[in-house]
Amino acid sequence: MQMMTAYTEEIDEIEDGIAEILGQIDLGALKKNSVGIVTCHFDFIHSGFIAEMQKRLPFELIGKTTMASTNQHGQGMYPLALTVLTSDELVFETGITEPLDPGSYREKIGAAYSATAQRLPGKPSLILTFFPNLKHMNAAMVHRSLDETCAGVPIWGGVATHTDATYDHCYIFHNGNHQKACLAMLLIHGPIAPEFIVVSMPLRNIQKNQGRITESDGCVLKEINGITAQKYLEGLGVTLMRTAPLITPLIVYYEGTPKPVALAIYAVNDDGSLSCGGEVPVGASVTIGEITVDSIMASAHEAMAKVLACGSRNGMLALSCVSRHIMLSNHDEELNLIAKKMKPESGEVMPYMASYTGGEICPIRDNAGLLRNYFHNFTFSACVF
């Protein structure tokens, strides 16, 4: 598989922007099968750019809005970044769900997945996906449904966001259409063995004291070591403010998986339970982490070192938590680092795309070396082909 990228900031001058995109991609070099992945500022949807670009491209698109994007052609808050995957061996099929709601999201995910998978010549090897950003649904439960539906096929992707931390203007798109409540998916069939990289924070930013979850319900953490989650954390000297709980990451060690997962604490409930950004099953161990500017950049350096250690590869897709972008005093610092690391002074440049997301979807290997799908917060995740 080969990867190509293109970039434009021409939101309103559609013809100029599409000409810039087409000038950066060699359509004559496309192989038998191709597909496009787009991250962009929401104005590219409202201006009609996405719909018009789809008409000019000989392959389907999936994508999402984001707070900022970068590839080897540029970076910033207001661009459109296009990634093209093309291959003679791999087969690509895209799909999108009906609008998701708490009562029927499982059925809608199952229907869209089944319809998309049936067009493949065999079982998917990898799923790339973009989730909607919904007030009334936890994305981790959507993730669980997709994981169960695909029977554990590796899933990588993220949640739509935009230029502030609200739900407004968060869109998913599939081909020329845009939606606020739908899930888009790209199913890939064939010989592909990506490397998945997940780094949330350095070990020095994670407390060593660990408790065991003794009561929970999905993403609601009720008790740790037999006492309420809030009381347990207060015993560690952690005060969770009801008005600003997002600044304290919960670090979860799932049973059978050596690498921890960082989750957001969305709310401190009246009964002392915590509403979390991901699942918190009974039996998992938990502690608290600290997100700082230094930890964000240290984890970005660590992640990029792992990307480059993958050796000769065809490309990298990266998604970083939008909270990392917001917390950096220089908001471009992480993207600047990615661009610097991916553009060495000598040697071949690996094509890449990086943007921000409202939740990271990336597998982790368990103790047996098998990939397990997880939902993350506060994390830098990458998929290297």
pLDDT of residue 167: 67
Report residue 143 as tokens.
């993730």
Low-confidence stretches of the chain (pLDDT < 50) are none
Which residues fall within 8 angstroms of residue 151, CB to CB, at 6 or more apart? Answer: none
Report residue 83 as tokens.
């990634």
**Amino acid, single-letter form, for residue 261:** V
**Amino acid, single-letter form, for residue 110:** G
Which residues fall within 8 angstroms of residue 49, CB to CB, at 6 or more apart? Answer: 11, 14, 17, 18, 80
Q: Which of 374, 384, 38 is nearest to 200 (CA)?
A: 374
CA–CA separation, 362 vs 286, rounded Å? 20
Backbone φ, ψ for residue 209 (5° rounding) = -65, 125
Q: Which of 98, 92, 69, 76 is nearest to 3 (CA)?
A: 92
Q: Are 191 and 125 in contact (CB under 8 A)?
A: yes
Give the up-direction half-sphere exposure of residue 364: CA atoms within 13 A in the CB hemisphere. Answer: 24
pLDDT of residue 135: 86
Task: Give pLDDT tens digits for 44-65.
Answer: 998 999 999 999 999 999 999 9
Task: Give pLDDT tens digits for 267-307.
Answer: 899 999 999 999 999 999 999 999 999 999 999 999 999 99
pLDDT of residue 242: 64
211: enclosing H helix or E strand: strand 211-217
pLDDT of residue 346: 54
Which residues fall within 8 angstroms of residue 78, CB to CB, at 6 or more apart? Answer: 9, 11, 41, 43
SS3 294: helix
Give the up-direction half-sphere exposure of residue 315: CA atoms within 13 A in the CB hemisphere. Answer: 18
CA–CA separation, 312 vs 350, rounded Å? 8
pLDDT of residue 362: 98
To the nearest whole percent, how much of the chain has pLDDT over 70? 96
Radius of gyration of the chain from Cα atoms?
A: 20
